[in-house]
Amino acid sequence: MIPIVSIKTGLRQEGLNYGVPVTFITLGGVDRLEIEDILKEVLSKSVKRSWVCIVGEEFDPLSFGIGTLVKGLSQLQRYVEVETDGLHRDPSWTHTVDRWVVDFQDKSSYNLGSLRASDTIRIKVDSLAPEVAFEVKEVLEITSKINCVKYLKVPKGTQKKWLGLISKFERVRVY
């Protein structure tokens, strides 16, 4: 059984699927559902070849039986995107997921080198302070050799202020 907060459909608000209808499976909480029940709920809320995004605060992708859930979603002809905080090691079923969104962490246990061109590294930015901009530049330099999309999740209304920095790197976006 997998702990579930909610299963709902909405528009993706960031990343490569920005603006695309997505069924979100939010992990955590106290309610637990069988994988079969989760798959039935997703079927009732989505159409074939649509995206399902598995999210959760600080969840370990190695726990909960998520690999089995991902395989079930794939058999239902759904594309699967999994978000992780980057603090946990990448699972053996990494490449059964269509797209990973991995938060950059200083002490990441996730093997960022395993990411593919379709995957993303999310770099969360909390302020516009000069030292933060310097840290972001360092992170972009560190991750520049990884063949995936990098994107900055910045405070609303500050996207244009990052243009000068991101224009120096390939495959970087701002949301």
Q: Which helix (H) or strand (E) holds 83?
A: strand 79-84
CB atoms within 10 A of CB 78: 22
Could you tell me the residue range of the domain that residue 37 belongs to? 2-174
CA count, 13 A, side-chain hemisphere, 23: 20
Burial 85-104 (b: 16+ CB within 10 A, else e): bbebebbeebeebbbbbbbb
Structural domains in the chain (count): 1
**114 and 94 in contact (C-beta within 8 Å)?**
yes
**For residues 92 and 114, what is the distance between their CA atoms, to the nearest angstrom?**
11
Give per-residue pLDDT as tens, 107-140. 888 899 899 999 999 999 987 788 888 899 999 9
What percent of the chain is modeled with pLDDT above 90?
A: 54
| CATH number for the domain that contains residue 53 | 3.20.20.70
Residue ranges of the chain with pLDDT lower than 50?
A: none
Residue with tokens 């962490």: 105
Burial 34-60 (b: 16+ CB within 10 A, else e): ebeebbebbeeebeeebbbbbbbeebb
**What mean pLDDT, rounded, does the chain reach?**
90
Facing residues of 7 across strands? 25
- Which of 92, 93, 95, 112 has the alpha carbon at shortest distance from 103? 112
Q: What is the pLDDT of residue 98?
A: 96
**112 and 133 in contact (C-beta within 8 Å)?**
no
**For residues 149 and 107, what is the distance between their CA atoms, to the nearest angstrom?**
20
